[in-house]
Structure formats: structure tokens, C-alpha cells
Amino acid sequence: MERRSSSRPLFRRVGRRLLFVVLLLAGLLLLSFALPIRAWRTGELPTPPLPLVRGGPAVELPRRIWIDTDAACGAGRTTDPDDCFAILVLTRAAGISVAGISTVHGNAPLAVTDSVTRALVAAMRHPGGAPGVHRGAATPLREDGSGRSAPAHAALRRALADGPLTLVALGPLTISRSRWGETPRAPM
């Protein structure tokens, strides 16, 4: 029985020393977080400045745009407001002229996206007159380019005849590459 009593203090001493070492290591680990590190492996390394054109951006900003949208905000629980917000921002942006808006299936059927977009544009009361809303594709165009032509196709051709446009595609494209070639072109 004396052996057990003499082994208890030994276990206690070893246990205390082990506990002290564990606490010391934990304290050192926590202290290491307070040390400043100048550059992490993925850190903030110096980068060269971006080359900019004096007095403005390196590219010319678009002046005339065409918006192709599947806006369905407020039409159901699963529709998102991003297209409607983008239309509001783009039609109010200084220096940008919206040549037209085409509606397309996507977030909702074409009937819904068309009526939502028309209601949104009518509610805006745009000072320079509201951009025209044109009904686009109800279904995706086929790979071979065949499919029913939508009123938006003719409206886009007319707008392109007036000059270059930047196409802002907020939904599935009304215009297919295979239908138009590489880029939509104005009739000559």
C-alpha cells in the first residue's frame, strides 16, 4: 500500500508539469497572433500601378445602349429584382442613351417579363421620353439559327442603323450568334 501512496505524488508532479507545458504552449500560440507580420504568403505584396490614360479611362465609355432583359421583379416569390434595378440605373445614368429595351424569356415566361418591363418603363416617367420596349424571343433560338423572328430583332436592326450600340444582356440573349453571324450588323 505504500507503493500506491508514493506513486500518487509522482503522478501529480508529472501531471502538473504536463499541464504547465500545455498551458505554456497555448499561451505562446496565442501570443504569436499578436506579432506583426509584414507580408503573408498570400499577403499584400506591392503591385505596380495600373496604366491609365491621362484624363480618363483607357477605353471609350458607351454612349448608346440596348438592354436585353428578363425582368420579372415582383412577379413571384422566386424572381429577383436585379434586372429592374439595372434598368432603373441605366435609364437614369448621365451620358447614356438607351436606344431600346428587348424582353426575353428567362426568369419568367415572356408574357410576364414583357408586361413587367413595360410597367416599369411606364412608371419611370423618363424626362427625355421612355425608351421603346420590344418583345423578344419566347424560346431559345435553335443552333442552326432557325426560329421565329421576334419584333425586337427588327427594332434592334433599326437602332443599329442609327449607329453603334453596346448590348447590355441582363437575361438570355434575344439574338443568337448563329442567327446574326459574329455580331449584329445594321442593314446596308
pLDDT digits (tens, 9 = 90+) for 91-131: 888 888 899 999 988 888 889 989 999 999 988 876 667 78
pLDDT at 59: 63
* pLDDT over 70, % of the chain: 67
Task: Determine the Cα–Cα distance for residues 160 and 175; give it in Å rounded to an integer.
Answer: 13
Report the DSSP beta bridge partners of residue 142: none
Q: In sequence order, what are the beta bridge partners of 68?
A: 102, 169
pLDDT given at position 100: 92
> Which pLDDT score, from 0 to 100, does residue 181 have?
41
Q: Give the model confidence (pLDDT) of 44-76 as tens digits.
A: 566 666 666 666 655 666 789 999 998 888 887
Q: Where are the domains of the chain?
A: 64-180
Q: Are strands 64-69 and 166-169 parallel, antiparallel or unpaired?
A: parallel
Q: Residue 1: its pLDDT value, please? A: 47
∠ Cα 50 66 96 (to 5°):
55
Evaluate if residue 86 carries a pLDDT over 70.
Answer: yes
DSSP state of 41: T
Q: Which CATH class is domain 64-180?
A: alpha beta
The more confidently predicted of residues 32 and 159 is: 159
Q: pTM above the 0.75 mark? A: no
Asked whether the predicted pLDDT for residue 84 surpasses 50, the reply is yes
Q: What pLDDT, on a 0 to 100 scale, did the predictor assign at position 139?
A: 77
